Structure 1
Amino acid sequence: MKKVLWLITARSGSKSIPDKNIKILGNQPLISYRIQTARNTQISSDIWVSTDSEKYAQIAKEYGAEIPFLRPDYLATDEASSVNVVLHAMDYAFSLDKKYDFIGLLEPTSPFVKSLDLEKAIDLLDKNENASSIVATRESRPNRIFIQKEDDYLSELADNLKLYTKLGRQSFGKEITPSGGFYISKWDDFIKTKSFYTEKTLSYLLDDISGLEIDEPLDWQFAEFIINNIVSK
């Protein structure tokens, strides 16, 4: 059976929402949703949390994650890349002589991704010999035709809207963007490319709720609305 290492990254020190990764959403800390989702898959896996905080580590343990190490300071800055955080965890796995087929990065800020989505993503990646990775996406709104670089005048937008009046919204093709829901790579491919994004990265399209990523206070308020009015129903 193929095995995956789920790595949940939970650095302390969020600025937009203080202590966002352990802030209570519904009746439990935000990080717990990703731990529970990973635990509820039918995939052979280990679930590690990479954090620089003893407090975060203790909370993660209470919800069933492993904390094999505390993240070193140089990987806990605003400038530290998620790729280096992932490689650090993979190196640690090597030091323990643990072997995996896939590495999956899960960020606490996407609490509504379903276990079934993780299972389907792994299955799609496993069955595609040419693919190196798979990334969660969502439909991008608005379409690029409604966007221009910041300027005093909306000259580009005006030109685009002339085309829009002729075509109609239904004529636009669907555009997608990464949702932050998950990033999964074949283990050996990530070691080679050091990226979840290659020419052989598959897209896994999530619905609007599963694709929610909490970055700003307004996103948090929307997540609370979902918890109270949709997920709990």
Structure 2
Amino acid sequence: MKNYLVLIPARAGSQRLPEKNMKMLGDLPLIGHSINYARQAGFEHITVTTNDFEVAAYAKSKDLNVIHRPDELAGNQEPVISAIQHALENLPDDYYSIILLQPTNPLRPETLLREAIQIFEEENCESLMTVSRNVHKLGTISNNRFKPYNYKMGQRSQDLQPLYYENGLLYIFKTELVKQGKLLGEKNFPLIVEHPFAEIDIDTETDFKKAEMYLNFYKDIY
């Protein structure tokens, strides 16, 4: 396997779900699920970038490398690429590519990362992202009028044109791409994930309760 860095970004200051990265989901804090996932997949180079002292202490207790992110790179409007670039600037080693695991997507299919790495290398991708199919009839509202966007009125759901959304489960991208200020390259592979865990993306208390339900219900199935 080539030289990969697993990077877990976990900033402080969530407004909708305070201190969510250390909130207990099952028997682990939220960030612990991404840490365990990377380790169980066999990765040794795992770094947490954070401005949260509690998160930093937890990561260090797990013998992980921690990059202390400046607060100015951890605001609500700050793109994640700035945190990634800052981490690379503060790491002594060079890496072939980066695997990004967001704590807000704590539940992932067991074999997904290994499958993604295999595709990334065989297809010689610049980047890879996980996506899931949207199955909803979507539309816009203007002047109190609903206008269908991806279907025609009366059309069956099973006949919709396939559309997909980023589910956030994982991203892989070459380090050189990040240095150019990009996360997704021209040779970007969309890995389709059809799994209930792809529905979990935690931003609110409701999202968290849903994750708890999925963890309890699916843990003996997947």
Query: Which TM-score applies when normalising by structure 2?
Result: 0.90
- 1:11 is matched with 11
SS in 2 for 1:215: coil
1: CA distance between counterparts of 2:122 and 2:220?
Answer: 34
Q: CA deviation at 1:80?
A: 1.6
Q: CA deviation at 1:168?
A: 2.1
Matched, 1:223 2:211: yes
1: CA distance between counterparts of 2:9 and 2:189?
Answer: 22
Which of the pair is proportionally richer in helix?
Answer: 1
Amino acid at match of 2:81: V
2: CA distance between counterparts of 1:210 and 1:64?
Answer: 27
**Inter-CA distance 114–204: structure 2 relative to 1 (3 Å threshold):** same
Alignment identity in percent? 27
Matched, 1:198 2:197: no
Deviations along 1:28-50, one digit per CA (max 9) or x if unpaired, are 1000000000011135x410000
Q: 1:75 aligns with which of 67, 70, 73?
A: 73
Where in structure 1 are there 5+ consecutive unaligned residues?
Answer: none
Which of the pair is proportionally richer in strand?
Answer: 2
**Inter-CA distance 224–88: structure 2 relative to 1 (3 Å threshold):** same
- 2:162 is matched with 174
Within 5 Å, give how 1:99-110 maps onto structure 2: 99-110=94-105
Q: CA deviation at 1:208?
A: 3.7
How many pairs align?
220
Query: Which TM-score applies when normalising by structure 1?
Result: 0.86
Deviations along 1:149-187, one digit per CA (max 9) or x if unpaired, are 454222x13x977x342x422211221110111111022
SS in 2 for 1:210: helix
**Structure whose alpha-carbon radius of gyration is higher:** 1
**Inter-CA distance 160–53: structure 2 relative to 1 (3 Å threshold):** closer
- 2:47 is matched with 48
Deviations along 1:44-74, one digit per CA (max 9) or x if unpaired, are x41000010221111123344321x311121
Q: CA deviation at 1:141?
A: 3.6
Q: Does structure 2 retain, via aligned residues, the 8 Å contact 1:8–1:107?
A: yes
- 1:21 is matched with 21
1: CA distance between counterparts of 2:69 and 2:142?
Answer: 38
Where in structure 2 are there 5+ consecutive unaligned residues?
Answer: none
Q: 2:133 aligns with which of 106, 129, 139?
A: 139
Q: Does structure 1 retain, via aligned residues, the 8 Å contact 2:4–2:97?
A: yes
- 1:126 is matched with 121
Q: Which runs of 4+ in 1 moved over 3 A?
A: none
1: CA distance between counterparts of 2:219 and 2:192?
Answer: 20
Superposition CA RMSD, Å: 2.0
